[in-house]
Amino acid sequence: MNKKTKIAIIGLGYVGLPLMVEFAKKFAVVGFDINSTRISDLKKQIDETMEVNTKGLGTIKNNLSAQPASLENQDFFIVTVPTPINENKSPNIQALKSACKMIGSYLNKGNCVIFESTVYPGLTEEVCVPILEKTSGLKLNKDFSVGYSPERINPGDKKRKLTQIIKVVSASNPKALLLVDELYSSIITAGTHKVSSIRAAEAAKIIENTQRDINIALMNELSMLFNKMGIDFQEVLKASNTKWNFLDFKPGLVGGHCIGVDPYYLTFKARQEGYEPKMINAGRTTNEMMPKHIFLSTKQRLKKNGKKLEECTGLILGATFKEDCPDFRNSKVEDVVKLFQSRVKSLFLHDPYFLKQSGAFPDHIKLFKSQEAVFKRKYDFIIIAVPHTAFKKIGHSALRQLLKKKGILFDLKSLFPSKYSELSL
């Protein structure tokens, strides 16, 4: 491999875009995305994911395309398209299948196709490879090879960037594994970790997020228990964390396109294998019920304070799926909003990232796009749903001044010490 080695990145979201920027420093790279608006924005050096700065975008803006023809005569194809779930919580791999069909049309002998999208163990070889073979007329390991290197980017994390996270690599044959490892080693300063099979790499990725889901579910369940017992769960966690091997997970809403999605891919595959994954199911059930728990806890506390929910005005702070991240996809805050909006007098929603994105939430929801607008009203309840740094800067004192008499502050993620809020998880 050298500067003339050609790489095509398919899918330019929070995973594919940083990958393209890094590979472009060493190889001839083209970035493809079916979203022409996304390509147009990137060429103007605008990245709504906020993962790449203006300087980085400037280095690749002339190599971006929404035209499939840009995939001609490549050496490597790296697929980073989303793998969400359907309404029935089953895998939605349409984007992945479409990417495979498109790549197959341009696949040549000697090419290597590397997948980064999170899938259940076996999907790459059972679904993707047959599409590539059928479309191209070529045969795996005879004419072309396949690799799998799961993405590990943590959206909004400014400390652990792409190059600083160890990359797991795998491939369809030993020679291809060396090639895939060499490719990623050229940009990943943290190093790589080779595994013997694509299925092992797929499994490693999916249990990373499944493990987090189960641990957060445990914290959610414990927080509900201790709150019923009148025990400050923040204090409990602080005490438990004094032991060296305690895992520092916090309760809260679990959404996004990883932790709230990946376990469903694993349960789907488990059932195909005739196995019912009880613990994974239990974790998902607990985390999926948290919006309802938040609603009922708020209603109960308001009633205790002599307030009827239908006469109350509420404010929800935060709408993205995690703190200091501009991504609204699969945010469980929307589930919280839906539970409240038809049952209260007025409900308002504010997130600092509304200024950077439009259409993140339905039009009928009353959005405050500026912090100034928030301070022009008084509320019976305020729910801090996402602990953005911007909210911490406002301070608990200023937020409490926005409450009406006997109003309540529900601090879901304990942004402030528990003594400053009536409710917390």
Which positions are catalytic? 258
Q: Are 197 and 172 in contact (CB under 8 A)?
A: no
**Does residue 414 come out as left (phi exceeding 0), alpha (psi in the -120 to 50 range) or beta?**
left
DSSP letter string, 368-405:
E-SHHHHTTS-EEEEEE-S--HHHHHH-HHHHHTTEEE
Measured distance CA(387)–CA(97) in Å, rounded: 36
Report the 10 Å Cβ neighbour count for 83: 20
- Tell me which amino acid residue 46 is: I
Tokens representing residue 403 in the block: 């409450």
* Contact of 136 with 160, CB cutoff 8 Å: no
3-state helix, strand, coil in the chain (%, to 5): 40, 15, 45
Alpha carbon distances (Å) from 248 to 4, 18, 99, 148, 385: 46, 29, 38, 30, 20
Task: Decide if 348 contacts 380 (C-beta within 8 A).
Answer: no
